[in-house]
Structure 1
Amino acid sequence: MSRTSTGVPAAQVEAVRAFNRFYTRRVGVLDPYLGGDLSLTEVRVLYELAHRQSPTAGELRRDLGLDAGYLSRILGRFGARGWVRRDPCPTDRRQTLLRLTAAGRRAFAPLQQRSRSEAAGLLAALAPVRREELLAAMQNMQRVLEPDRAAAAPTVLLRDPRPGDLGWVVQQHGELYAREYRFNAEFEALVAEVAARYLKNFDPAREKGWIAEVDGERAGSVFVVRRSATVAQLRLLILAPAARGRGLGARLTDECIAFARAAGYRKMMLWTQSILLPARAIYRSRGFEIVKREPYAAFGRKLVSEVWERRL
């Protein structure tokens, strides 16, 4: 059997190369990426800026394996387009924090939607059992090729709700809000009503839910429901404590915005409470604005309800 200088059989090397050629052709990497004027690397940098909380250039360079000069040129082009701004790091004057601007998010949104649509098209052509086989194979490749990263970084999956998931969503809201915000059982009853309406009146063309899994365990949820012909409502965003701090809440919110835009809604709204500071920070970072505030008493507490909206 012919072998390379590394001792690996030549047939195995050719098998890897053949797979690389197949995959790059299948996902369109050789074409103009996602139909835009950005390279694959530029879109990846834009993705990281959209999904991280103020990274430094050094962090991006390390995690993406990019040359410092190459990354600097990409960031320079983004800055010239008004997509990214640099803020001084409060703890290290040698570093600057990178933040995507509103213009940068607007530029990224259609790219993200096209990427999702292409991935959905790839999976839609497969039977459910074959789809699960493909996803399991992808995860196995990551574990084999990067065992250290796989051990350090959990596997995160966003999937459609299955039977039993809505019961879990109600339970999580009841337990977490009682423990963290001292809400009484009225809140759990409200969540149960929202979940029941979603199941009874579900319209797949205009509504959608996501269950977030971390290493195979349910860790979060979010739902888009029809408010009117032109307005979508974001509902039931929640993360288990162990899943927080990974940008998963922002990712779930991004999924809602992308779906609502693709479904033809013109506006997205949500109802929340002023004391829910982490959730409010996500909504603000995604372009939502408060349009109504009202003091009231509910769930065993005196609260201030808020209605947030954003144009799509």
Structure 2
Amino acid sequence: MSVQEIRSFNRFYTNLIGALDYSRHLYAPYTLTESRVLYELAHSPRTDVADLRGELSLDAGYLSRILAKFEEDGLIERAPSERDPRRRRVTLTPRGRTAAELLDERSREAVGSLLATVPAAERERLTAAMATVRGILSESTRRPPRADDVLLREPGAGELGWIVQRNGALYAAEYGWNADYEGLVARIVADFAEDHDPYLERVWIAELDGRPVGCVMCVRDEAPGTARLRLLLVEPEARGLGIGDRLVAAVVAFARGVGYRELVLWTNDVLAAARPIYQRHGFVLVAEKAHRSFGVDLVGQDWRLQDLAGGL
């Protein structure tokens, strides 16, 4: 590929993005850069001024002027950072969060309008091509991922299917489990998709660099007042960032917050890496039983976390 070809693509894509922002409606009353700052403040776990400057590659003086404007408009508040009092932390006010949500909604509508012109059969190919470009161009310059780069969120369209696919593929590759396990996961996910109580049941996706790298579920158990943690998974390349710990912590906090009395989970002894995570959050191993499932001999384990605050 020649330099001229890349420049030609850049001109095409810049013009395309400019066409989406018709008459500056998309970002008004803010500039594109100001909108990027608002987006980061609404979605990034790191909101110290220094982190924002590095994440967005902005000049310190330019960012300072943007933040001063936001503060004057009542969109943000600034205070000493909890991590380092020498640094300044920036948080959105309710008015700022409303502004960020409006910009996000406009952006989704604009991109949706663009995708509507692309035949359905071509959208997956387009998404894959964009991921390829992003991956190749970032490999040589990106820093190693950090724990703060990971975002926990609800699943988007198609990501319940991702949970099934990645569970099937990973457990086959790492433990030799057959398609029976993928079938079990598919039934668990289908049951959730078809009939779940959004107040009492939830799925989390761990996102890194715009793609899912982990997941976990919290669903009601048969026993009254009991929730069940299911399908904890972290992709191999994302391990070591504390993602599994954060996912389990999210389930525990959610279960406690909605009033479950206890939280249970079933796993197998070969999944040794998860055991310290469960123990760290107060789970206790209460039973073990040998069985043959998924084409291999296993020892199943029941873990329980009791005495959650409140109670259903």
**Same fold by TM (over 0.5)?**
yes
1:92-144 per-position Cα deviation (integer Å, ceiling 9, x unaligned)? xxxxxxxxxxxxxxxxxxxxxxxxxx99x88996796645789xxxxxxxxxx
Counterpart among 3, 6, 16 of residue 67 in structure 2: 16
- Does the CA-based 8 Å contact 1:123-1:131 persist in structure 2? no
1:38-71 per-position Cα deviation (integer Å, ceiling 9, x unaligned)? x973xx5xxxxxxxxxxxxxxxxxxx5879xxxx
| Aligned mates of 1:216, 1:169 — CA distance in 2 | 16
The 10-residue stretch of structure 1 (11-20 or 178-187) with the greater mean CA deviation from structure 2 = 11-20
Counterpart among 249, 257, 260 of residue 254 in structure 1: 249
Matched, 1:288 2:271: no
Equivalent position of 1:174 in the other structure = 168
One-letter amino acid matched to 1:210: W
1:1-312 maps to which residues of 2 (within 5 A)?
A: 13=64, 15-17=66-68, 19=70, 22=74, 25=77, 41=82, 44=83, 64=84, 130-131=103-104, 151-153=143-145, 155-227=149-221, 228-311=223-306, 312=308
Describe the shift of the 1:65–1:127 C-alpha distance in structure 2 as closer, same or farther (beyond 3 A). closer
* Total equivalences in the alignment: 208
- Give how far 1:300 is off: 1.0
Describe the shift of the 1:40–1:231 C-alpha distance in structure 2 as closer, same or farther (beyond 3 A). farther
TM-score normalized by the length of structure 1: 0.58
1:20-44 per-position Cα deviation (integer Å, ceiling 9, x unaligned)? 575664xxx77xxxxxxxx973xx5
| Aligned mates of 1:172, 1:123 — CA distance in 2 | 37
- Does the CA-based 8 Å contact 1:232-1:269 persist in structure 2? yes
Alpha-carbon RMSD: 3.5
Gapped regions of structure 1 (runs ≥ 5): 1-7, 31-38, 45-63, 68-117, 135-148
Which secondary structure does the structure 1 equivalent of 2:285 belong to?
Answer: strand
One-letter amino acid matched to 1:231: T
- Give how far 1:166 is off: 1.3
| Aligned mates of 2:237, 2:63 — CA distance in 1 | 40
- Give how far 1:18 is off: 5.0
1:75-96 per-position Cα deviation (integer Å, ceiling 9, x unaligned)? xxxxxxxxxxxxxxxxxxxxxx
- Does the CA-based 8 Å contact 1:288-1:310 persist in structure 2? yes
- Give how far 1:152 is off: 3.8
1:137-174 per-position Cα deviation (integer Å, ceiling 9, x unaligned)? xxxxxxxxxxxx98443632222112211111111111
Gapped regions of structure 2 (runs ≥ 5): 1-58, 108-140
- What percent of counterpart residues are identical? 38
One-letter amino acid matched to 1:258: A
| Aligned mates of 1:13, 1:190 — CA distance in 2 | 53
Describe the shift of the 1:269–1:66 C-alpha distance in structure 2 as closer, same or farther (beyond 3 A). farther
Equivalent position of 2:113 in the other structure = none
| Aligned mates of 1:285, 1:179 — CA distance in 2 | 27
TM-score normalized by the length of structure 2: 0.58
- Does the CA-based 8 Å contact 2:75-2:95 persist in structure 1? no
Describe the shift of the 1:127–1:205 C-alpha distance in structure 2 as closer, same or farther (beyond 3 A). farther
One-letter amino acid matched to 1:205: Y
| Aligned mates of 1:190, 1:174 — CA distance in 2 | 9
| Aligned mates of 1:124, 1:223 — CA distance in 2 | 27
The 10-residue stretch of structure 1 (152-161 or 210-219) with the greater mean CA deviation from structure 2 = 152-161
- Does the CA-based 8 Å contact 1:186-1:299 persist in structure 2? yes
Equivalent position of 1:77 in the other structure = none
